[in-house]
Amino acid sequence: MTQEEALHRAESLCSRSEHCEWDIRLRLRRWDVDPAHHDAIIQSLRQNRFLDDLRYIKAFVHDKSLFAGWGTQKIQLALQSKRLPEKTIREVLLTLNQDELLNTLIHLLQKKMPHVQADSERARREKLLRFAITRGYTVTQAQQALQHLPVTDLTDE
């Protein structure tokens, strides 16, 4: 694929949805574009505003927190794996509404709770706590959310 073809294909891709430089570099490799052309293509995409780190990070954080129910730690790790600027990641994560995050986590735990099998209420809460942590929430956030869940009677299970 020529540099011009790759550029047009990348512009088309970026015009449909947000992508970061890391995503585009992976695509360019997959499309077998000469590595000598990668930087020029990325530079052109940036100049024409097809690529924008801040815009990408904002969209990613919004989508993962709202639709996927991810916590800030999981979002941060995912963005860092895409080699995006840590300072920008932290700034965008600070804009998240903590009450909305807590409500999302409470909702996730309420949905998960009936499916958790445990011999005691303590064991059930520990499993829910681990679940929340794997979703990227801090221990403190998970404990706060668990306080909002009803205590269930395990004797009639």
Q: What is the DSSP letter of 36?
A: G
Predicted confidence (pLDDT) per residue in 86-132, tens digit: 999 999 999 999 999 999 999 999 999 999 998 988 999 999 999 99
pLDDT of res. 151: 63
Q: What's the chain's average pLDDT?
A: 92
CA 77, CA 84: separation in Å to the nearest integer? Answer: 10
Predicted confidence (pLDDT) per residue in 23-33, tens digit: 999 999 999 99
* Through-space distance between the first and last CA atoms of the chain, rounded to whole angstroms: 62
pLDDT of res. 149: 85
Does 45 have pLDDT greater than 60?
Answer: yes
Nearest to 20 by CA among 89, 85, 84, 92: 84
Tell me the residue ranges of DSSP E strands in the chain: none
- What's 99-144 look like in SS3? HHHHHHHHHHHHHHHHHCCCCCHHHHHHHHHHHHHHCCCCHHHHHH
pLDDT of res. 152: 60
Record the pTM: 0.85
Does 153 have pLDDT greater than 60?
Answer: no
